[in-house]
Amino acid sequence: MQYEAMHGLLWTKGTFWVTVAVLIFLGFFGRKLINAIVSLLDRRSQAIQQELDEAARLRAEAERMLKDAEARREAAIAQAADMVALAGREAERLAAELLADAEASARRREQMAKARIAAAETAAIAEVRNAAANLAVKVTERILAETIDGEHDQSLVDQAINDLPAALRKQAA
């Protein structure tokens, strides 16, 4: 049976006619089928190209946004550094100002303390002088009361009256 299938007239076999039918079918419908496949592949290619273009556009936009964000970040970092430097200078200025105010306040308090001490010294000296003067007057009264009598008293008064014009001239000069 295999021998007969391999030998004999070609058009008497079924495979020949199936092959002829396929070739006729491809002859009539092959171009349409190929055109449909090519059209389908072209549409798919266009869709892929559109997706690639969209992806490229999105990537370019993302890169632009990244550059913009980096620029804003750099600007913010620079602004923060400026603010930190400004705050540092302001803190130094305030510290110097507070130090100067504290020194001025300390000097004022020192001057006030010195003035109080001087006033207290003056008051103490005046008090000591008054006490010494009062003591001297009391001692003088006691000495005079014990040592001076009426006759001696008269001679002292006469002498003081006689010395009065000389003392006045001396004081006027």
| Residues 6+ away with beta carbon under 8 Å from 16 | 10
Across 127-140, b (16+ Cβ under 10 Å) vs e yields eeeeeeeeeeeeee
Predicted pLDDT of residue 146: 75
The size of the chain, in residues, is 173
* Backbone phi and psi for residue 148, each to the nearest 5 degrees, phi listed first: -100, 135
Predicted pLDDT of residue 11: 62
Predicted pLDDT of residue 5: 53
**Domain ranges across the chain:** 2-172
Q: What gap in Å lies between CA 2 and CA 173, rounded to an integer?
A: 176
| Residues 6+ away with beta carbon under 8 Å from 44 | none
Rounded average pLDDT per 10-residue block, the chain, 173 residues: 56 81 86 88 96 95 95 94 93 92 92 91 90 86 74 76 83 76
Predicted pLDDT of residue 1: 43
Predicted pLDDT of residue 157: 77
Q: What gap in Å lies between CA 39 and CA 18, rounded to an integer?
A: 28
Give the tokens for residue 8: 């004999």
